[in-house]
Every structure is written in C-alpha cells, then in structure tokens.
Amino acid sequence: MTLMRLCERAGVACRASGAWTQRPIRVVFGQPWAAHALPGDWAEVRLQVPGTGETGARQALGYLAYELHDLVAKESIRSQTWAVIAPPRGRPRRGRALTAAERQARYRERHARAR
C-alpha cells in the first residue's frame, strides 16, 4: 500500500501531497516487530507490527515517523493524542536537584496515598 493509504487506515489525514505520499509500504499485521528498509526516501519499506486494523496502521505510522524518520508520517501523526511520546523519566528539567525538604514532602505524599 502507499503511505497515503496507510494514513487512511490509521484514521489520520495525510499532511503531504504529491509523490511523497506514494511511497510503497508493505505491512504485515499481527506479527512480532520487524522492519526492513532500504536507504533513501523513495525505497520500499517492509514492516511487521503486532496490532491489527487501525491499531496496527497507527503502530506502522509511528514506526515510520520515529524510527525511520519519515517526514510525511511524522507530520501526519503530529498532535495526535495516541502518538505523543512519554516524557523522559528522572529529574525534572528545571536544572537543579530537589532540596531535602522537597524530597521529604514528596516521600510523605507518596506514602500518604498508599495508606
């Protein structure tokens, strides 16, 4: 199928036009993850995804967007709620470590909820 057809199966609008949307993509649904892509923007891509139907098409688009860096797929799924990448775990981005008082307050909050 083409990239445009994959977007249709995933239930998203393809946010590109022209020959970019005609990239050939072979997707095998209901199989363990596997991918084979030749270098270049126009080369055929073969994917195996565990999902089926709309979920499988979304998984395939996500793989194209964030693993193979296909700009048409990335732009098409941008701002979709199911395509948001989880924030990184660990220290918040404010650039400084928590104080002892802040750590203790968070500890007490966690254990108060657990009771």
Give the pLDDT of residue 20: 84
pLDDT tens-place values along the chain, 115 residues long = 999 999 999 999 999 988 888 889 999 999 999 998 887 777 889 999 999 999 999 999 999 998 888 899 999 999 898 988 777 787 667 778 889 999 999 999 999 887 6
Give the pLDDT of residue 106: 93
Asked if 54 contacts 77 with a C-beta cutoff of 8 angstroms, the reply is: no
Give the pLDDT of residue 12: 95
Cβ contacts of 59 within 8 Å, gap of 6 or more: 49, 50, 51
pTM (whole model) above 0.75: no
Domain ranges of the chain: 3-83
Cβ contacts of 42 within 8 Å, gap of 6 or more: 23
The whole-angstrom separation of Cα 28 and Cα 12 is: 20
* Dihedral angle computed from the Cα positions of residues 78, 80, 81 and 86, in that order, rounded to the nearest 10 degrees: -20
Give the pLDDT of residue 87: 76
